[in-house]
Amino acid sequence: MIVFLIIAGIAGFLAWIYWPEIIGAGWSPTPLPHVRRMLKMARVGPEDVVYDLGCGDGRIITVAAGEFGARAVGIEADPFRFFLSFLRVRFSGVRDKVNVRWGNFFNHNLKDATVVTVFLSTKANRKLKEKLKKELSPGTRVVSYYWIFDDLKMTECDPFLHLYLYEIGR
C-alpha cells in the first residue's frame, strides 16, 4: 500500500509539472517589469479588455486592472495555477474588474478582447495564430513575451526584453 501511494504521488507530481507542456507551454512567471512594459507597449487603458492566455498566477490581469484600469480576463488550464490566480485576484482589490476562467483557452471565445497577452511557445503560438485572426477584431493588440508569431505583422518590438507587439488586421 505504501509503495502504491509513493508511485501515485510521483505520478501525480509529474502530471502536474508536465500538464502545461502537454497543452501548450510550461509555466515561468513573467517578471513584473516585463508585465508593465507589455501593457504599456499595448497602450492598455480603462477602455480595454485584456485577455491573458495561460494566466499562471494572475499577475498580468491584476496589473492590467489595478495599474492600467482595464478589465481583464485570465484563462488557465492548470488547476493549481488557476487557484493561484483566483487567490491573487480575490485579494488584490480588483476582483470587480477581473475574471479568471479555468480551462483550455482554445475552447474559449476571445472576441471581447482588445488586448491579448501570451507567454507560450513557438508551437502554441503557431496553433493560436489562426484563432486570433478568426476571433479578434481588427486593431486588437497582441503582445507576446519571448516567442514570436510567424506570419503576423509585428508593429513593435523590444528586443532587450523579448517583447513583441502585433495588431490584428494590420
Query: pLDDT tier at 17 (50, 70, 90 boundaries)?
Result: low
pLDDT tens sequence across 90-129: 999 999 999 999 999 999 999 999 999 999 888 889 999 9
45 Cβ neighbours under 8 A, 6+ residues apart:
68, 69, 70
Backbone angles phi, psi at 99, to 5 degrees: -125, 130
> Quick one: cell of 157?
518590438
In order of 2, 13, 131, the CA distances from 86 in angstroms are 34, 21, 25
Distance (Å, whole) CA 102 – CA 12: 19
The pLDDT, as a whole number, for residue 83 is 93
pTM of the model: 0.87
Query: pLDDT tier at 87 (50, 70, 90 boundaries)?
Result: very high
pLDDT tens sequence across 33-82: 999 999 999 999 999 999 999 999 999 999 999 999 999 999 999 888 89
From the list 122, 110, 121, 120, the residue with the least C-alpha distance to 168 is 110
**Fold for the domain defined by 2-167:** Rossmann fold (3.40.50)
120 Cβ neighbours under 8 A, 6+ residues apart:
24, 25, 53, 54, 128, 144, 147
